[in-house]
Structure 1
Amino acid sequence: MTNDAAKYTLGVDVGTSSTKGVLVAKDGRILASATRAHEVDRPHTGWVEMDAHIWWDEFVSIANELTTAHPNAEITAVGVSGMGPCVLLADADDEPVRPAILYGVDTRSGAQIARMTDELGIDEITRVGGSTLTSQAGGAKIAWISDEEPDAWTDARRFFMPASWLARKLTSAYVLDHQSASQTSPLYDIENETWYDPWWQRYAGTIAQPRLTWAGDIAGEVTAAASALTGIPAGTPVITGTIDAWTEAVSVGAHEVGDLMLMYGTTMFLVATGAETLRTPSMWTTAGAFPGTRNLAGGLSTSGALTAWLKDLTGSDYPELLAEAEASGAGARGLLILPYFAGERTPIQDPDARGIVAGLTLEHGRGDLYRAALEATALGVRHNVETMRAAGADIRRIVAVGGGTQGQLWLQVISDVTGLVQEVPATTIGASYGAAFLAASAIAADGAAPAIADWNPITQTITPNPDLRSFYDTLFDRYVRLYEGTKDVAHELAAEQRGASHA
């Protein structure tokens, strides 16, 4: 008989810059982890895509590393997660017909968004799906492939996101979770929690509809073929999984009504959970990760991507930049950055927004720029939070998660700028840990499901400095006015960049 102490769940998340996997014990302890770094492709301005073969290859590599290094660890269930909403179309043999188009950072579908909005009507789109169409809308990206790449479209038969792609490769199940489906706007009916057939047939008619389940439901079992590749025993249950931001919320227990999750990563993501469907044109209304919940979500197009860009540009390392940014102080000695270096998602929904550095002088150094970049992401978070609350979101508790939470200065800057208290749990490894938790919950006997508060207790609380409240109120006003005052020029430059990228 197998000892319960040797039983683990495997959680794997495909992110924007890496794939991460963890082996987690029944009590939430992490036995081992593995990471595979990767990069996205940006073939044109506004395009962000990735070869989906990488997702499976990295899963296989991570699974083999962990199972080989820990041969006595019995994997009892597998959790999957991934960035999104992405659009991966595959043919009848599950071969991708083109690289996957990534989430809202990919802004290529502007013409399709305009056409679909005109054809369907903004009020009807919002009634059916909850949200207006933006660069985050998966359905518009499906329409882009239909319009722009007819050869690929002719072969397309199935639709995946990273988590559902892994579930397919592991189990042969063709499924998608409700949360991910609700971001395939306008193809999902949010109130009835089903595909909206009239619009699916109109814009994706040749593609078979994935069966809809919830993130923590079991999609199927590991096949013999997948077992031979991964080292995971055949017959092991695999959950359906969902988009990484929602799995991250699960990993820190920030998925109850009244919770707001802040995900610190390559981009910044915010998920507020409630019981009602809130609609506002500047945010994303989605189904929750679990039955009976709804989310109002938002995201910055750059956060960690912006600080990484500055690090590479200056040839520095993070400890140097953080020390200099701390010395720079609040306000970065008179600098203000708009963090729209890849356009912006919420709440301005402007793919043609561009990064702005205001107030720069010859006296400023790299530490000032780095401090201003941290403050820029914090100002973006504040803009989102204020928009959510204006739409009716009841935000009672804020939990921080993701790799960026390891940086104490960034956490403090966000609390100071927003005026929010943040709770930080013991484990901030993120979506892979949440996927492992969902897998453990899926196979638990009635009444024996683990509690995330036991797995991952809160260990740190970040409190805003009240002495900086007035200062950052003024800076936030300038932040909003700076965008309004520069957006026309930024749009002209964005148009020129698009022309240059195709020259």
Structure 2
Amino acid sequence: MALNAVLGVDIGTSSSKGVLVGLDGTLLRSAVREHSVDRPAPGHVEMDADIWWDELVSLSRELTTGTDAEVVAVGLSGMGPCVLLTDADDVPLRPAVLYGVDTRAVDQIARLGEELGVEEIRRRCGSDLSSQAAGAKIAWVADEEPELFARARRLYMPSSWLVRKLTGAYVLDHHSASQTTPLYDTVARRWYAPWADRIAPGIELPPLRWSGEAAGTVTAEAARSTGLPQGIPVITGTIDAWAEALSVGAHRPGDLMLMYGTTMFLIHTVPGLLTDPALWSTVGALPGTRNLAGGMATSGAVTGWLRELFGNPGYPELLRLAEDSGPGANGLLMLPYFAGERTPLLDPQARGVIAGLTLSHTRGDLYRAALEATAYAVRHNIEALEKAGGDIRRVVAVGGGTQGGLWTRIVSDVTGRPQELRTTTIGAGYGGALLAAQLVTDASIDEWNPVREIVTPRPGTAARYEELYGLYRALYPATADLVHTLAAHQDR
């Protein structure tokens, strides 16, 4: 008798990941497809949507071929908020504009803030306009590519694009919509027509559903392409970080999820609407939930950059060298703003800084400084969350960066916070699989993915980091004017 299973697929910044999961939460198979983004101009970060579908097809074929498991539902997630505009026949008009790592819409953010009112945008939409706001990027396309924009009829993100390809349904989840500022009213939980019609005229905005609701079923054509059974349900899906939070059970008031990935993301679940100009207030992935969130523009992207500069040694070797370096990286201090910074600085012109370099510093020192820099940035975000009214009672870590143990230990030492690690930390694909399983069974994340370890701060190391954190916070204002000038040279 065939084993029933669910397929989870997540489209990330640097790779797509797929998991085949039994209905009891057992990870049966996993696979990865690496890809890269396009950077056609300074501050522009894009990706061809054909990659998303091609990799879903490839992952589905690999994970379901030669197994007795029968897929009964599909879960999807993807990076976001992104802007993929298509014509009326669902032909993409240009590559998708990616989330907050793309900083092109500076002029549109300023103009819309002036026209609509910064305070009114925050009151209605929960967040200020920033590089994370998908609505501002739609305005950029309208301003800079008017002939193309005149043909735009639909708006997609990675998960909703895959839903369309699999089922024919045109839908978007409420959480993703809440990051299209200023198109979505987070208080009323619906599109706000006066601003949507003004910023996205001619675009039929998708009907809204919750992430775990069924969007439709796999069509005969999609079944032929993917090897999935025709007629099985597909969830509406959501943005990857929110699926990651679900994958480790971080969705109750007081929970904070830390996602260790190409970028670092923080999602704090709050009992009611909280807003702050330095953070993002969103509707949650589940009905009735709200979040206060933050995100760095880089984290794993910096460690990956260093690894490439070092000749691509294995990550275990780099972690060993960083462990040998010791707390403080032998006097190195880094600002990890290599692609600008999102929260709480909201400064697309910020740049990376490495202070204290000498001829005696090693690869291990540099790698350790990068890990510590992200930990300082996590603490900065946590302080901003609490200043905004958040009440963090539990921290749960997830993502590829939790492997090896050193990075999570550094973050706990710097923040003074224990971190809960679940048995499975593969992330968003697993969260999507959970939502898919809940369409057909009473799946529970605490049964699927129990706690494996608690990472606790080490008092002696924490004291050392207290001093260094003060220096970290002083370094940005001390260098901001200089790096902004350098950023202007880079944009020429």
How would you bin the TM-score normalised by the shorter chain?
over 0.9
How far apart are 1:470 and its partner, in Å?
Answer: 2.6
Helix, strand or coil at the partner of 1:263: strand
User: What is the CA deviation profile of residues 109-149 of structure 1, one whole-angstrom value per residue up to 9, with x for unaligned ones?
Assistant: 00000000010110100011000000000000000000011
Helix, strand or coil at the partner of 1:399: strand
Distance 1:29 1:470 in 2: 40
> Which shifted more, 468-477 or 407-416?
468-477
Distance 2:377 2:458 in 1: 19
Determine if contact 2:316/2:404 at 8 Å carries over to the other structure: no
Q: Is 1:188 matched with 2:206? A: no
Distance 1:318 1:188 in 2: 41
Distance 2:475 2:29 in 1: 46
Among residues 175, 193, 202, which one is paired with 1:197 in the alignment? 193
Show the counterpart of 1:360: 357
Show the counterpart of 2:488: 495
Show the counterpart of 2:136: 140
How far apart are 1:41 and its partner, in Å?
Answer: 0.6
Show the counterpart of 1:322: 319
Q: 5 Å matches for 1:213-292? A: 213-292=209-288
> Which shifted more, 83-92 or 318-327?
318-327
Helix, strand or coil at the partner of 1:152: helix
User: What is the CA deviation profile of residues 55-101 of structure 1, one whole-angstrom value per residue up to 9, with x for unaligned ones?
Assistant: 0010011111122222x321111000000111111111111100001
Determine if contact 1:15/1:82 at 8 Å carries over to the other structure: yes
Q: Is 1:406 matched with 2:399? A: no
Show the counterpart of 1:308: 304
How far apart are 1:155 and its partner, in Å?
Answer: 1.5
Determine if contact 2:87/2:93 at 8 Å carries over to the other structure: yes
Show the counterpart of 2:34: 37
Distance 1:200 1:368 in 2: 49
Helix, strand or coil at the partner of 2:246: helix
How far apart are 1:487 and its partner, in Å?
Answer: 0.5
> Which shifted more, 348-357 or 325-334?
325-334
Q: Is 1:13 matched with 2:4? A: no
User: What is the CA deviation profile of residues 267-307 of structure 1, one whole-angstrom value per residue up to 9, with x for unaligned ones?
Assistant: 00000001211100001000001111110111111111100
Structure 2 stretches of 5 or more lacking a match? none
Show the counterpart of 2:458: 465
Show the counterpart of 2:341: 344
Structure 1 stretches of 5 or more lacking a match? none
Distance 2:424 2:100 in 1: 27
Q: 5 Å matches for 1:112-123? A: 112-123=108-119
Distance 2:491 2:207 in 1: 38
Distance 2:58 2:284 in 1: 31
Show the counterpart of 2:468: 475
Q: What TM-score, normalized to structure 1?
A: 0.97
Identity across the alignment (%): 63
Show the counterpart of 1:164: 160
| Aligned positions, number | 491
User: What is the CA deviation profile of residues 324-359 of structure 1, one whole-angstrom value per residue up to 9, with x for unaligned ones?
Assistant: 211111111111000000000001000000000011
Show the counterpart of 2:419: 422
Among residues 43, 46, 69, which one is paired with 1:73 in the alignment? 69
How far apart are 1:442 and its partner, in Å?
Answer: 2.0
Determine if contact 1:346/1:384 at 8 Å carries over to the other structure: yes
Distance 2:94 2:404 in 1: 37
- Look up the equivalent residue of 2:490 and give its one-letter code: Q
- Look up the equivalent residue of 1:109 and give its one-letter code: A
Distance 1:324 1:242 in 2: 37
Determine if contact 1:275/1:292 at 8 Å carries over to the other structure: no
Distance 2:314 2:356 in 1: 24
> Which shifted more, 334-343 or 5-14?
5-14
Distance 1:443 1:185 in 2: 34
Show the counterpart of 1:130: 126
Helix, strand or coil at the partner of 1:164: helix
Determine if contact 1:331/1:372 at 8 Å carries over to the other structure: yes
Q: Is 1:175 matched with 2:168? A: no
Show the counterpart of 1:439: 436
Distance 1:443 1:26 in 2: 9
How far apart are 1:474 and its partner, in Å?
Answer: 1.5
How far apart are 1:45 and its partner, in Å?
Answer: 1.3
How far apart are 1:467 and its partner, in Å?
Answer: 1.1
How far apart are 1:322 and its partner, in Å?
Answer: 1.4
Show the counterpart of 2:81: 85
Distance 1:357 1:9 in 2: 45
Helix, strand or coil at the partner of 1:126: helix
Helix, strand or coil at the partner of 2:256: strand
Once superposed, what is the RMSD of the aligned Cα atoms?
Answer: 0.9
Q: What TM-score, normalized to structure 2?
A: 0.99
- Look up the equivalent residue of 2:153 and give its one-letter code: R
Show the counterpart of 1:22: 19
Helix, strand or coil at the partner of 1:269: strand
Distance 1:328 1:38 in 2: 32
- Look up the equivalent residue of 1:16 and give its one-letter code: T
How far apart are 1:364 and its partner, in Å?
Answer: 0.9
How far apart are 1:319 and its partner, in Å?
Answer: 2.4
> Which shifted more, 467-476 or 23-32?
467-476
